[in-house]
Amino acid sequence: MTTLDLRTDRTTPLDPVPLDPATLGYPATNVASIPPLADHWRSLDLREILSRPAAFLSVSQSNSLYRPGGVQYAEGHAFRGSLPATVTAVQAARRAPSFVSFNWIGYSVFRDRYPQSDFDRAQYASWTGHLDATPEQIAWDDELAPELRELVRPGDNELYEKALQTAFVGTDLPLELARKRVEVVVITGIHLDWCIEGNARAARDHGLLPIVIGDATGAQRPDQEPAAFERINSFFAPVISSQTFVDLLSH
């Protein structure tokens, strides 16, 4: 494999060339792909559930995905609506007294220093093994998107996933949620069919009540989202829009 030498004065891992949203042709939001609540969730009072001790989890919402020069920027998430929907959801959660924990969970695609199995080693190398990025470029790629950095407050938790697709293994998150007696976790971020689904599944297995904010998430491609929403909504967690989340907290 040819290695790309990125050791320049540039702060970004890749050349920071902005995408043209018109050329991408992606929808500005995926709200239309969010399915109706599964019948079993309709039997629940989500407003009452969200009044219980709750935590907000933003997962993998970094420069890598939203800024030109990021390793994953080419997926077009900067133009697909997950970032403004997350801002809306965070602001609503801040106003709600039930939210006792805010967690900003990073996911670095530069994982050569992470614990790895043979499968991990092969997979991670395919992501960034061809990039000779500097520590400064990696740090920039991993950094929380500026729109969300502005919303971080003292006492919030900032951590990185160390496992393949969940923050419930190898981090302080389970202890944070247990100490604050959290019952409900509200999840935003990227990628819908990877870390978001993985964390929703893990939350259920830890006895928690996960809720996914659908338009504050995204898969690698928009066409992958309907099936992922359907699977998560059917088996693991209610999937709702950011506006529905706001409405549930406003009454």
pLDDT tens digit sequence for 135-165: 999 999 999 999 999 999 999 999 999 999 9
Domain annotation covers residue 10: no
Q: Number of structural domains, the chain?
A: 1
Q: What is the CATH number of the domain that holds 48?
A: 3.40.50.850
Q: Which residues are 54's β-sheet partners?
A: 99, 184
Instruction: Look up residue 131 and give its two tokens.
Output: 């990039």
User: How far is Cα 132 from Cα 145, in angstroms, rounded to an integer?
Assistant: 23
User: With the C-alpha atoms ordered 216, 25, 79, 58, is the resulting torsion angle positive or negative?
Assistant: positive
Instruction: Check: CB of residue 90 under 8 Å from CB of residue 151.
Output: yes
* Confidence grade of residue 8 (pLDDT, cut at 50, 70, 90): low
Q: What pTM was estimated for this model as a whole?
A: 0.95
* Confidence grade of residue 239 (pLDDT, cut at 50, 70, 90): very high
169-196 residue pLDDT tens: 999 999 999 999 999 999 999 999 999 9
Domain annotation covers residue 67: yes
User: With the C-alpha atoms ordered 182, 219, 136, 2, is the resulting torsion angle positive or negative?
Assistant: positive
User: Cα–Cα distances in Å, from 122 out to 114, 162, 190, 191?
Assistant: 13, 16, 22, 20
- Please state the rounded mean pLDDT for residues 190-216: 98
Domain annotation covers residue 8: no
Residue-number span of the structural domain to which 103 is assigned: 27-249
